[in-house]
């Protein structure tokens, strides 16, 4: 059923010639505009569905959009190319793989696979963990790839020993990816660009195929994504991008806010529309959020007008520490349930970092309140599931040494690290694949039993590699996992936790069955590709009656009647490391804007005057500077009411005695956070954090020249300035 569009939305939908930029403020109905536009292009513009490319940032958003468009068109099938950048690019690479000399059965390495490969690289280069660890290498090199900096580029510009070593790691990592016939997430965006540059005919094919391109969340695009869109639209110029510069929150992984801010210059004759009518939040929530983000210099001006009335002020609660903060959230949640007849699913608790969830989870478990933690270990990342997937990946791609290393001794078959080292050495000496070495296990200087195990494993994988075209994905997976011994291992195990692992293996096989039913004719490669591209939010189930706990980043695109934004301490939100960078501080401010605008009716802001961080130290802090940027008329400061005075059991409230407590900032000795001090060497500075007492008291000071120092008060000889 078609819904009514407001005036600006209607104009944006009907603009189907040339470049179109839609600034869509939070809750302004951008998904509705995109789906209506696709409908308009097909019904009014007479464009064939297969000639439309629609790009989203999550699989969840893609599925939602597809469902809506099919409903508008009254059809059960939609030929529109609709998906994330990564899924669309992965499909394109597989389709053109043979043309460019790439094995179409390439593996897509997820973050865990990448970290495992980096461990191999670092070992080969003899780089200790304390110099570069695998996760550090992964994040640093991913950022380089997003900026399209090659290993040689990095080496040429390297100024420090660390940068030179990182360039070496980058080079060997890329070589090993190719040896493993694997691509990482960044490669999925980079390979199409190389294809378009080197094969003009392939580029022309996709330019003629995708005659109209729509892009959601355009503010979060990076350089490769921008170039991909530029290639595709260079011929017809029909591109419509929707985004909100105030919600650009992925600069840390390469997103470039200038892509949206400079769109009109980069795409001449662009039509621009600004959606300012908000259908989600109240006016007070919008005004408070806008007041904060307006402090940013890099933004386009817009004024959001609430369709849902004035609403209530945001509630500000000061707490003593992270434990009391969690209790305060539960106390407020219980009141909301009682007074406004809300359910648990109406609430979301947002935080800046994943580590903050621990205290929250403890309190929720203690009080019996059901919750859903977004960002916990996902199903497909559980060890037993990763092991089973390792078998499936290796069967598809015999060059995948990361999967081979993972499963070679699982279930246990007596193959240790020394044996693997001998296999690796032989592979390098004879210039053959690690998998081929297994066939020649009799040539290795190892015991006969180990040799037999290697050969048996080789024959198992080889057998199912040859059965790919004879069995469908479901049949092949069930037979392989059964024959591998994984099911038997967990079924016969006496360890209690292995019962859950056994059930998870069965659930994995069920998920493959379901995938095959939903996608007739699909292959095992198709299933593995979908799994590798899943995100945290794709697994979130909003139909369950649970409180949702998640980072602010994960909450992007979601909405809840009531939102708690916790951890609003200066140094935590915004993060301490962003203080010296205008760009990073502006991104933190946009992140706060995103957090607040997830709420439909009510927002609670919480901070702690004492929080355990930094390796167990208690940090004394100040409220986030973002709180000070909210005008007082939009804030209601309330007393903390301990959640220990109230409990929910089985969803029912039980009244107990109430305890009213007012908290204030605690100071140690003569110093407190915010004091201006002078140091004999570093000069004038400001105390930002404070920890310890007596002789162990420490202060974190930011000096006027930007220098940051952690000092022991006993030895620092600081002088307080009046």
Written as one string, the DSSP assignment of 341-377 is: ---GGGEEEEESSGGGHHHHHHHHHHHT--EEETTS-
Q: Which residues pair with 56 in a beta bridge?
A: 84
Tokens encoding 184: 């990482």
* Strands 599-608 and 560-565, sheet pairing: parallel
Set 30, 154, 280, 406: catalytic member: 30
> Assign residue 540 a region: left if phi > 0, alpha if psi is -120 to 50, beta otherwise?
beta
Residue 247 is among the residues annotated as catalytic for this protein: yes
Set 96, 116, 187, 217: catalytic member: 217
Q: Report in angstroms the alpha-carbon separations of 652 from 4, 35, 289, 345.
A: 40, 41, 34, 15
The whole-angstrom separation of Cα 40 and Cα 47 is 9
Residue 217 is among the residues annotated as catalytic for this protein: yes
Set 10, 14, 31, 378: catalytic member: 31
Set 58, 114, 247, 450: catalytic member: 247
The whole-angstrom separation of Cα 270 and Cα 20 is 5
The whole-angstrom separation of Cα 509 and Cα 529 is 16
Residue 50 is among the residues annotated as catalytic for this protein: no
E-strand ranges in 566-703 read 599-608, 610-613, 617-620, 635-638, 640-641, 647-649, 652-654, 660-661, 676-679, 683-691, 698-703
Cα–Cα nearest to 138, from 156, 161, 113, 106: 113
In terms of Cβ atoms closer than 10 Å to its own Cβ (0-12, 13-18, 19+), residue 77 is exposed
Residue 30 is among the residues annotated as catalytic for this protein: yes
* Strands 599-608 and 314-319, sheet pairing: parallel
Q: Under a CB-based contact definition with an 8 Å cutoff, are residues 625 and 587 in contact?
A: no
Set 68, 352, 598, 611: catalytic member: 598
Q: Under a CB-based contact definition with an 8 Å cutoff, are residues 219 and 30 in contact?
A: no
Q: Under a CB-based contact definition with an 8 Å cutoff, are residues 30 and 22 in contact?
A: yes
Set 113, 187, 216, 570: catalytic member: 216
* Strands 52-56 and 81-84, sheet pairing: parallel
- Residues with a catalytic annotation lie at 30-31, 216-217, 247, 598
């Amino acid at each position: 059923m078609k819904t009514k569009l407001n005036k600006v939305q209607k104009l944006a939908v009907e603009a189907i010639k040339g470049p179109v930029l839609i600034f869509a403020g939070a809750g302004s109905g951008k998904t509705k505009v995109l789906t209506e536009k696709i409908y308009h292009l097909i019904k009014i513009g007479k464009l064939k569905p297969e000639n439309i490319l629609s790009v989203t940032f999550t699989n969840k958003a893609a599925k939602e959009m597809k469902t809506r468009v099919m409903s508008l068109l009254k059809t059960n099938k939609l030929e529109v190319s609709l998906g994330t950048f990564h899924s669309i690019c992965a499909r394109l690479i597989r389709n053109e793989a043979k043309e460019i000399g790439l094995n179409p059965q390439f593996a897509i390495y997820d973050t865990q696979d990448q970290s495992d490969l980096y461990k191999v690289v670092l070992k080969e280069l003899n780089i200790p963990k304390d110099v570069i660890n695998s996760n550090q290498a992964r994040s640093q090199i991913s950022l380089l790839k997003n900026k399209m900096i090659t290993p040689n580029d990095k080496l040429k510009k390297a100024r420090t020993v660390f940068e030179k070593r990182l360039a070496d790691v980058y080079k060997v990592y890329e070589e090993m990816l190719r040896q493993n016939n694997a691509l990482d997430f960044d490669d999925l965006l980079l390979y199409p660009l190389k294809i378009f540059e080197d094969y003009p005919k392939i580029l022309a094919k996709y330019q003629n195929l995708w005659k109209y391109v729509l892009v959601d969340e355009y503010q979060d695009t990076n350089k490769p994504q921008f170039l991909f869109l530029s290639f595709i639209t260079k011929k017809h110029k029909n591109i419509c991008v929707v985004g909100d510069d105030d919600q650009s929150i992925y600069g840390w992984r390469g997103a470039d806010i200038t892509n949206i801010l400079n769109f009109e210059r980069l795409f001449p004759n662009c039509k621009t529309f600004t959606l300012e009518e908000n259908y989600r939040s109240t006016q007070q929530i919008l005004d408070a959020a806008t007041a904060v983000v307006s402090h940013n210099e890099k933004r386009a001006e817009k004024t959001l007008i609430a369709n849902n009335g004035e609403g209530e002020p945001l509630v500000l609660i000061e707490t003593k520490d992270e434990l009391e903060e969690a209790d305060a959230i539960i106390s407020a949640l219980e009141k909301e349930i009682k007074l406004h007849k809300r359910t648990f699913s109406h609430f979301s608790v947002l935080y800046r970092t994943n580590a903050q969830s621990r205290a929250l989870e403890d309190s929720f478990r203690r009080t019996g309140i059901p919750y859903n933690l977004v960002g916990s270990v996902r199903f497909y990342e559980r060890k037993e599931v990763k092991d089973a997937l390792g078998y499936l990946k290796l069967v598809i791609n015999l060059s995948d040494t990361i999967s081979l290393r993972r499963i070679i001794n699982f279930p246990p078959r007596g193959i240790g690290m020394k044996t693997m080292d001998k296999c690796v050495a032989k592979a390098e000496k004879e210039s053959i694949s690690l998998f081929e070495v297994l066939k020649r296990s009799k040539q290795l200087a190892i015991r006969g039993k180990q040799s037999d195990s290697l050969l048996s494993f080789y024959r198992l994988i080889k057998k199912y590699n040859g059965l790919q075209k004879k069995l469908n994905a479901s049949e092949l997976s069930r037979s392989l996992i059964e024959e591998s011994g994984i099911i038997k291992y967990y079924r016969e195990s006496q360890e209690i936790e292995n019962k859950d692992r056994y059930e998870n293996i069965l659930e994995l096989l069920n998920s493959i069955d379901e995938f095959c039913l939903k996608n007739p004719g699909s292959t095992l490669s198709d299933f593995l590709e979908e799994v590798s591209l899943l995100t945290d939010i794709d697994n979130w189930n909003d139909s369950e009656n649970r409180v949702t706990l998640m980072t602010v980043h994960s909450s992007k695109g979601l909405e809840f009647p009531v939102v708690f934004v916790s951890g609003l301490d200066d140094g935590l939100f915004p993060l301490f490391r962003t203080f010296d960078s205008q760009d990073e501080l502006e991104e933190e401010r946009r992140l706060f804007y995103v957090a607040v605008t997830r709420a439909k009716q009510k927002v609670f802001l919480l901070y702690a005057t004492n929080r355990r961080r930094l390796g167990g130290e208690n940090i004394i802090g100040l409220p986030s500077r973002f709180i000070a940027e909210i005008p007082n008329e939009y804030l209601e400061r309330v007393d903390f009411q301990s959640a220990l005075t109230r409990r929910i059991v089985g969803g029912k409230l039980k009244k107990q005695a109430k305890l009213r407590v007012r908290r204030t900032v605690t100071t140690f000795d003569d110093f407190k956070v915010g004091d201006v001090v002078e140091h004999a060497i570093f000069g004038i500075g400001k105390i930002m954090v404070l920890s310890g007492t007596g002789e162990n008291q420490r202060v974190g000071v930011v000096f006027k020249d930007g220098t940051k120092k952690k000092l022991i008060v006993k030895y620092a000889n600081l002088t307080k300035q009046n």
